[in-house]
Amino acid sequence: MKNQNKGNPSKPTKEKIFDISLELFAAKGFNAVSVREIAREVGIRESSIYNHYKNKEAILDTIMDYFIYQLSQSGLPKDDAEALIEQGPEVFFETGAKMYIKQINTPQMEKIWRLVSIETYHNKKIRDFFKKELLEEPINVWENTFQMMIEKKMIKPLNPRTLAYEYFSFAIFLFFEYFVLEYDKDFKTYMDLAQEKMANHAEFLLEAIKM
């Protein structure tokens, strides 16, 4: 037991810097947070920050790396997905929605999601990540899913890419609505509401396209 004691007895300083930076970035945006402020909250001097991170940008990078890692851990394996479709579109939609929720439903991940939504414009790295991993990739997955449903004669033979957009654009809308517009609302309340909205949307879509 040498140092690392200031309020929280065991957490390493680097981790404290991570947590507090995330907290502040998510609340005020990256540019609006100063290194001084982070240091003050952590309980050390500004200069000590630079013992753990090369600069302010490096803290953000570390947060984003953590986010990307966490997301990569929570995807549904492809084989499971295919088996799930067999149980019918309703079950698949429901399970899919729960997977997304799970990616957001921790206080830490919620903050990072918010940070991403705030900085998506200002930061090219985050923007590119969003486009690729949170928009294009899911759209492709859903296109394949609808393609499979069509082949199994579960739904009408419509353009699977159109269906992917019809389904998934609503999720992006809910994301935008909460993280950009409605953040003052209670998180859990909104999540329950969003889950219900997404279920309604899936039900509406399914009713429109089922055989």
Partner DNA sequence: GTCTATACTTCGATAGAC
Partner DNA sequence: GTCTATCGAAGTATAGAC
207 in contact with its own copies (CB under 8 A): yes
Q: Which does 105 bind (CB under 5 to 8 A by kind): DNA, its own copies, none?
A: none
Among 34, 105, 169, 200, binds DNA (CB under 7 A): 34
Taking CB under 7 A as the criterion, the residue among 11, 14, 161, 197 binding DNA is 14
165 contacts: CB under 8 Å, gap ≥ 6? 139
Phi-psi category of residue 58: left, alpha or beta, with phi > 0 → left and psi -120 to 50 → alpha: alpha
Cβ pair 53, 145 in contact under 8 A? no
Tell me which of DNA, its own copies, none is bound by residue 13, counting a contact when its beta carbon lies within the kind-specific cut-off of 5 to 8 angstroms.
DNA
* 3-state secondary structure (DSSP) of residue 165: helix
CB 155 within 8 A of CB 149: yes
Q: Does residue 37 bind DNA (CB under 7 A)?
A: yes
CA angle, corner 88, sides to 84 and 106, nearest 5? 50
> What's the rounded Cα separation, in Å, for the pair 149 and 189?
33
The answer to whether residue 25 forms part of the interface with its own copies (CB under 8 A) is: no
The span from the CA of 113 to the CA of 91, in Å, is 26
User: Binding of its own copies at residue 176 (CB under 8 A)?
Assistant: yes
Minimal distance, residue 126 CB to DNA, in Å? 17
56 binds, among DNA, its own copies, none (CB under 5 to 8 A by kind): DNA
Q: Is 45 in the site for DNA (CB under 7 A)?
A: yes
Residue 57 in the binding site for DNA (CB under 7 A): yes
Query: CA dihedral in degrees (74, 200, 173, 151; nearest 10)?
Result: 60
Residue 25 interacting with DNA (CB under 7 A): no
Among 8, 12, 76, 78, binds DNA (CB under 7 A): 12
Report the residue from 44, 112, 149, 202 that binds DNA according to the rule CB under 7 A.
Answer: 44
What gap in Å lies between CA 207 and CA 204, rounded to an integer? Answer: 5
Tokens 């088996």 belong to 83
Q: Which stretch binds its own copies (CB under 8 A): 50-58, 74-82, 95-103, 164-172?
A: 164-172
Q: Which residues bind its own copies (CB under 8 A)?
A: 29, 31-32, 117-118, 120-122, 127, 130-131, 135, 158, 162, 165-166, 169-170, 172-173, 176-177, 180-182, 197, 200-201, 204, 207-209
